[in-house]
Amino acid sequence: MKKYVIIALACAISLGAGAQNVYDAATIAQNELNGTARFVGMGGAMGALGGDISTIGTNPAGIGIYRSSEAMVSFGYTSTGTESEYVGSVFETDKNRWSFDNVGAVISTKVGNLTPLRYVNFGFNYHKAKSFYRNMAMEGYMGMADINGRQVPLSQVRYMAQQATNNQYYLSGVTGGEEWFDFGSDNIFDDADAGWLGALGYQGWLTNDGESPYYYLPVVPSEAYGSYYAQERGGVDQYDFNISFNINDRVYLGVTVGAYSVDYNKYSYYGESYKETGEDYGLESYKRIHGSGFNAKFGAIVRPFEYSSFRMGLAVHTPTYYNLTYTGGASLASRVLIYDSETGQESMEKYVSDTYQALGADMEYDFQLQTPWLVNASLGYTIGTNVALGAEYEYEDYGNMKIKDAGGFVKEDETNEVQLCLKAVHTLRLGAEWKVIPSFSLRAGYNYSSALFDDLALKYLPDNSIETDTDYANTKSLNTFTLGIGYRNSFFFADLAYKYQMQKADFYPFFNELSTEAAHEYVVNGDTYDSQLWEPVATKVTNSRSQVVLTLGFRF
């Protein structure tokens, strides 16, 4: 499917090896609804109501509502499903797992009844802020591009050839054409100016030297039949430390300092076969992104009318500052027809190129990620002692996210890509709780988050990137539905919640940039050929997740 060039991505060599992209950054940065069973059961809409430890991470002033101390622990069981539909074929993958979701405590200290400051409370909470567990698969013919009447097969191999070409063009410009990349050498994977995808394609005999001194041509003998499979694992753990204040039982203030631990792992396989010749290849990519981060959250809750339970809340979260390490490797195995000029015969030959074997280790690269500011506004109202209603609105502009090198300097190409591909996300949360009897409650909630990605977003790997997974998915809006029940007495409480979330996405295994001039397969940096961006037909993906959360706690 043709994608017109409305957004222009920079195609320059980044300073230092490229190991970050906007899709990985978004995976780590975007928020999910997680916490205690009561919090989840009410859809997280408790920023102004407070009185639950999970508000420590949304509106810190919610801890100021406490008038007694308590401790709790939560466990969960999650079923994640992915349905992928590509040109009429449907593929389904599932993943089920148990999880330890939350443990925390609030220490409530009463100051007095006559002083303006009534309570000073302290809180600590650990919770699983985000889970990355997901599998996905798709396969089918990748289609053809119609370039001024030319039928050109879409293929990941074209991406390989373009990266190698851009590498060579860059080096020839620096050296005046007197030095050339040796893409056939194992040492190429140590070169900070060379992209791994282009090197692997050359070593697998999927690209050839062109007539021009810095052109590499893709070998795509016929329409490509592509196969894709991926596994994602890991999550983000959040540790929050809070102090909050109750002033006259009408104003509540809180501050939370959050620490984060990231562990994201992805294995992906993409391969192509060509019916016309029987040739094929398969590319396996491995990556792990791990590290830590921190932020601060400031919150306030105000009860503006003395004889009303109506509350208004406001919270501001600073960016989360992550120090991260990318660890990655790739392996390509191919079967290609090789022509023997001496015998005039063709034979099927096998080639394997493996970055781990070439380097003796996986490549590591340190970088920093700065998420955007977040603003949260909330309303809460209780009707007598039986009904609690909550609503929240949250705003976070992911286009302001920044990717930096290990020294803290902004990486301009990657950060510009963030601004082009990501949008502001608007989140609405609604929740209700009904105490059927004083000790037994029913709960329900709903969340809506707008789409994070621009409709024309695509995954651009810097020309010297050590990443080799060219796939990307542009997710749509996220809808979450929750239900919950709870039991409470003076000393003990138990809550159970069910969460169902659903999100659609358009998935692409790669994109191609093709020149509109018949003499050129694609555009080279610095040249001015007109070009179009092409992708295979979008794979329509539906991601769903069902989770049951159980929280047990006691008051003291």
- Three-state SS across 167-191? HHHHHHHHHCCCCCCCCCCHHHHHC
In one letter, which amino acid is 417? E
Give the three-class secondary structure for 524: coil
Check: CB of residue 297 under 8 Å from CB of residue 57: yes
Instruction: Compute the residue count for the chain.
Output: 556
Q: Which two tokens stand for residue 519?
A: 């003499």
User: Which residue, chain included where needed, has tokens 């400051």?
Assistant: 117
Rounded-to-integer distance, Cα 235 and Cα 132, Å: 5
Q: Which two tokens stand for residue 154?
A: 């879409």
Geometric angle at alpha carbon 119, from 118 and 125, rounded to 5°: 160
Give the three-class secondary structure for 485: strand
Geometric angle at alpha carbon 536, from 532 and 537, rounded to 5°: 115
DSSP 380-445: EEEETTTEEEEEEEEEEEGGG-EEEETTS-B-HHHHHHHHHHB-EEEEEEEEEEEEEETTEEEEEE
Between the alpha carbon of residue 250 and those of residues 48, 56, 379, 392, 481, the distances in Å are: 12, 19, 14, 19, 31
Q: Is 409 exposed, middle or buried (0-12, 13-18, 19+ CB in 10 A)?
A: exposed
Per-residue pLDDT of the chain (556 residues; tens, 9 = 90+): 434 333 334 334 444 555 678 999 999 999 999 999 999 999 999 999 999 999 999 999 999 999 999 999 999 999 999 999 999 999 999 989 999 999 999 999 999 888 999 999 999 999 999 999 999 999 999 999 998 888 999 999 999 999 998 888 877 766 565 667 889 999 999 998 899 999 999 999 999 886 666 788 999 999 999 999 999 999 999 999 999 999 999 999 999 999 999 999 999 999 999 999 999 999 999 999 999 999 999 999 999 998 899 999 999 999 999 999 999 999 999 999 988 777 878 899 999 999 999 999 999 999 999 999 999 999 999 999 899 999 999 999 999 999 999 999 998 888 888 999 999 999 999 999 999 999 999 999 999 999 999 988 999 888 889 999 999 999 999 999 999 999 999 899 999 999 999 999 999 999 999 888 877 777 776 676 788 889 999 999 999 999 999 999 999 9
Q: Which two tokens stand for residue 23?
A: 């899709």
Report which of 258, 260, 285 is spatially closest to residue 270, judged by C-alpha positions.
285
Rounded-to-integer distance, Cα 320 and Cα 30, Å: 11
Between the alpha carbon of residue 122 and those of residues 32, 113, 254, 277, the distances in Å are: 25, 19, 10, 69
Q: Which two tokens stand for residue 84?
A: 């992928």
Q: What are phi and psi of 43, to 5 degrees?
A: 70, 20
Rounded-to-integer distance, Cα 473 and Cα 26, Å: 11
DSSP 54: G
Check: CB of residue 376 under 8 Å from CB of residue 315: yes
For the segment 18-44, what is each residue's pLDDT rounded down to a tens digit?
Answer: 567 899 999 999 999 999 999 999 999
Check: CB of residue 159 under 8 Å from CB of residue 199: no
Q: Domains along the chain?
A: 2-555 (2.40.160.60)
Rounded-to-integer distance, Cα 4 and Cα 533, Å: 6
How much is the pTM? 0.91
Rounded-to-integer distance, Cα 402 and Cα 381, Å: 38
Q: How far is CA 438 from the centre of its chain?
A: 42
For the segment 409-443, what is each residue's pLDDT rounded down to a tens digit?
Answer: 998 888 888 999 999 999 999 999 999 999 999 99
Rounded-to-integer distance, Cα 111 and Cα 90, Å: 62
